[in-house]
Amino acid sequence: MIDLKEAAGFINMNNDSVIIIGAGPAGLTAAYELVQNGICPNVLEKGDMVGGMARTKTYKAYRFDVGGHRFITNIEAVQNLWETILGKDLIKVPRLSSIFYQKRFFRYPLHLSDVLATLGIFESILILLSYFKSRSWPFREEKSFEQWVSNRFGERLYRTFFKAYTEKVWGIPCSKIRSEWAKQRIKGLSIVSVTLNALLGFQKSKSLINEFYYPSEGPGMMWEGFKSAISSQGGQVRLNSEAVSLNHADGRIVNVACCINKNEIIEMPVSHLISSMPVDQLIAKLDPKAPDNVLEAANKLDYRSFILVGLIIEKKSLFPDQWLYIQDPKIRVGRIQNFKNWSLAMVPDPQKTSLGMEYFCTDGDELWSMSDSELIRLATKELAGLGLAQDKDVLNGFVIRQPDAYPIYDEDHNEHLGVVRDFLGTIENLQTIGRNGMHRYNNMDHSMYTGMLSAKNVLGARHDLWDFEETYPDVVRKDVVSQRAFEETVIQTFVRMDKLALAIAVGAVSGLFFFLLTVWLIVKGGDIVGPHLQLLGQYFIGYTVTLKGAFIALGYGFFWGFLFGGLFAFFRNFFMAYYVYRAKKKAEFLSFRDFFDQL
């Protein structure tokens, strides 16, 4: 155990001892926000580089992401931060991605015309027939992901484009993935937006599908930028420093035991602790230990892991896409990244190409247990099997393993997370942030935003991190806010019309109109009173331009107005309902077009 005084050079003891566990996007954002406000935190990172899952590894001067990382956000504060840190090194990349199926490229998001043209007439007819069959005789109950997708797109299209990749990512058959999961993944899409697009010809939010931001030298460049900014303002980002034990008393974390370089342990006093390490690991490190039911619930929070096999290829160009989804079920690779198509600066030699062969797996399974050389051999063989390059073109390879890459939302996820969350709520000075810190399927931007809010809490705010998406409308960018405001107005405009109210209103107005017109002509007088209006008698039987006639006109006017108003409201509601139904279907379809992005 190192004495605290000896460690004084290691930790910031100058002001409040704010400790942040993890130098991934969430932890670094929290630290950045704090140093901006005069607090100098200690960031402990067990790895030897910053960036967490969004780090960039360099191998033989080639840069590799742990999976391609697109920078996309609706959160204005996060976008501003990215731009502040990187300036012009944050480049905009037009997206190009495809599904690779039976050695053919299908642009993804899918375009029906492309699908039909590439598959050929025979397969296209089968897909259309299967679609019509599913529409006419859908599965009555949509219990599984398989049934849910088949009901919407037909079984054949589902098997061709969705089944194999989804099963690779999650490691279980689509028939075992619950349909609620698919519904939840697409719920974010605004049906109103789609309706507006159709009605008024608006563009669907372009940025989300067609282009994204990317640091010119890979995401690691961003996190190195954060690290420098934090250090230059007095914060400490310590690599190879693992939080191994969190000691608590009276509902507060008192100190954190930190293992440096895998051999020395120091104890650091804590005023506030912000943790982005996987929440189940945090629970396991508490001393005294958490109650059994909490430990049990935390243990049940599961993850998928991820392996990236980086290959350097002796070829200038293999395909134009940034990444390919590999649909073939016999090939184990799920996705292939082509890093020079993200940014040319990712490769040192433009005559060569670097690929990231992405494998989804579970800690300890067959893939995870393979040695690096076995994995490189597998990736090389699969690349050749796909016909994208030959064995002899592969110059070098290396492996990145990422445990706990994807939090799994299984049936009992909410229940287990609820138990953990309730318990954490009893520790006053502890906040958990980020993707695994909250066991939530967050992308970088939402992970960062939780970091930002946690820092504000240290400064005295009272943000609820667990519910921030619902609670804080300012998480969305101003252009999105104004679009939403506009949508609200349109919703008000297109609300269902009350048939009876409209019928009475139109009836009353038209009845009164004829009544007053008749009275006015009577008052006006003349040799022949209202000669033209007299003609109305041909339609309103018994009508004359007299006081009695004025009441008859009132009755007729009301009757026809009532009928007209009622029918108008009926047909308008009918067509509106039909339109919204169509828009809903279209919304589902559109969201499915970029469904793989949500996986």
Query: Interface residues with ligand FAD (CB under 6 A)?
Result: 21-27, 44-47, 52-54, 66-70, 242-243, 276-277, 306, 402, 405, 434-437, 442-445, 447
Q: Which is nearer to ligand FAD, 451 or 566 (CB)?
A: 451
Q: What angle do CA 438, 280, 431 make, to 5 degrees?
A: 45
Contact 491, 192 (CB under 8 A): yes
> How far does Cα 29 stand from its chain's mean position?
19
Could you tell me the two tokens for 343?
A: 């940014």
Taking the complex as a whole, the smallest distance from the CB of residue 316 to ligand FAD amounts, in Å, to: 26
In the bound state with ligand FAD, the residue whose beta carbon lies nearer, of 70 and 185, is: 70
**Is residue 254 classed as helix, strand or coil in its secondary structure?**
strand
- φ, ψ at 562 (rounded to 5°): -60, -45
- Min dist CB 147 to ligand FAD, Å, is 28
- The side-by-side arrangement of strands in the sheet containing 303-313 is 104-108, 97-101, 323-326, 335-338, 353-361, 303-313, 394-407
Both tokens assigned to 500: 């009876």
Q: Considering the complex, what minimum distance in angstroms separates the CB of residue 391 from ligand FAD?
A: 26
Question: 41 preceded by cis ω (within 30°)?
Answer: no
For residues 339 and 356, the answer to whether their CB atoms sit within 8 Å is yes
Smallest separation, CB 189 to ligand FAD (Å): 18
Least gap, CB of 508 to ligand FAD (angstroms): 58
Q: Which amino acid is at 466?
A: W
Identify the CA nearest to 475 among candidates 464, 460, 486: 464
Q: Closer to ligand FAD by CB, 159 or 446: give it.
A: 446
- Nearest approach in angstroms of CB 327 to ligand FAD is 18
Cα(307)–Cα(404) distance, integer angstroms: 11
The closest of 443, 462, 445, 441 to 453, measured between CA atoms, is 462
* Closest distance to ligand FAD from the beta carbon of 29 (Å): 8
Token couple for 377? 């051999």
- Please state the closest distance from residue 309 (CB atom) to ligand FAD, in A: 13
Nearer to ligand FAD, 421 or 586 (CB): 421
Residue among 310 and 507 whose Cβ is closer to ligand FAD: 310
Q: Which is nearer to ligand FAD, 23 or 355 (CB)?
A: 23
Contacts of 201 (CB under 8 A, 6+ apart): none
The DSSP line for 145-208 is: HHHHHHHHH-HHHIIIIIHHHHHHHHSS-GGGSBHHHHHHHHTTS-HHHHHHHHHH-PPP-HHH
Residue 75 is given by DSSP the state -
To ligand FAD, the closest distance from the beta carbon of 139 in angstroms equals: 32
Shortest distance, position 103 Cβ to ligand FAD, whole Å: 25
Q: Based on CB atoms, which residue is closest to ligand FAD, 223 or 543?
A: 223
Nearest to 305, CA basis, from 371, 404, 372: 404
> Residue ranges of the alpha helices (H) in 268-309?
279-284, 292-299
Residue from 508, 592, 593 nearest 554 by CA:
508
Q: Which is nearer to ligand FAD, 197 or 281 (CB)?
A: 281
CB atoms within 10 A of CB 365: 11
C-alpha span between 149 and 500 (Å, rounded): 41
> What's the closest the beta carbon of residue 22 comes to ligand FAD, in angstroms?
3
